[in-house]
Amino acid sequence: MIPRRIVTDMFLDCGINLYYEKAGEGAPLILVHGNGEDHTVFDRLIPRLAELFTVYAVDSPGHGRSQRPGEFHYAGFAETLSAFIRELGLERPFFCGFSDGGIIGLLLASSQPALLSRMAVCGANLTPAGLKRGWRALFHAEFLLTRRPLLKMMLDEPQIAEEALARIEIPTLVLAGGRDLVRESETRAIAEGIPGAALQILPGETHGSYVIHSDKLFPLLRDFFLPGGAR
């Protein structure tokens, strides 16, 4: 069973109580899910990774069991995760973010180059225009019906400039599915904008098929985070 721990009244600089689950031993590895999800999307991946790492699977603000923020912005999510890392005293953890979690990783690594040591980004986009047109239309229609602020955030944000990517100094693995809802040109722009980044487009995979309730990421993350290391 994965040990559980609720973090409350801890992050005084951002004012958010964050829920996370911790498992395993070894170098710290943070997992961050996508929009409207929670840490349980990694339920099949965590046990595999916990054999090699201390895994911290976080519920982003306003998701799962974490406190809802006053407003939803990717920059605010990144600030909260930075506070989480500082509060736990994690020394340059590994990071893997899916979709919105990948956006958070890009913002963290570009604004605080020394915070993380290696980063994997799955299905992220730089701007809303990086999503395929049909998907943007679908999300817009859903927002008109529901007025969900998380959808509004996704329709307006992020706005990550080329110069922000150029500030990322850590080894980065950029991943996306061959049938992703993110444009392939957007995924390639992320990889080309980050100095030395590696790129893998996974044939036949959708936006989340290789991440959500799947352990397909395990060998990719193992080999990237522990190149030549113990298996």
Supply the pTM of this predicted model.
0.93
First-last CA distance in the chain: 22
Whole-number pLDDT of residue 9? 38
Q: How confident is the model at residue 188 (pLDDT cuts 50, 70, 90)?
A: very high
For residue 145, is pLDDT > 60?
yes
Q: How confident is the model at residue 208 (pLDDT cuts 50, 70, 90)?
A: very high
Which two three-digit tokens encode residue 157?
Answer: 């944000």
Count of H-run helices and E-run strands, the chain: 8, 8
* Strand intervals (E) in 104-218: 118-122, 172-177, 198-202
Whole-number pLDDT of residue 8? 41
Q: How much is the mean pLDDT over the chain?
A: 92
For residue 7, is pLDDT > 80?
no
- Coil, helix or strand for 124? coil
- Note the pLDDT tens digit of each residue in 101-125: 999 999 999 999 999 999 999 999 9
Whole-number pLDDT of residue 228? 73
- Note the pLDDT tens digit of each residue in 147-163: 999 999 999 999 999 99
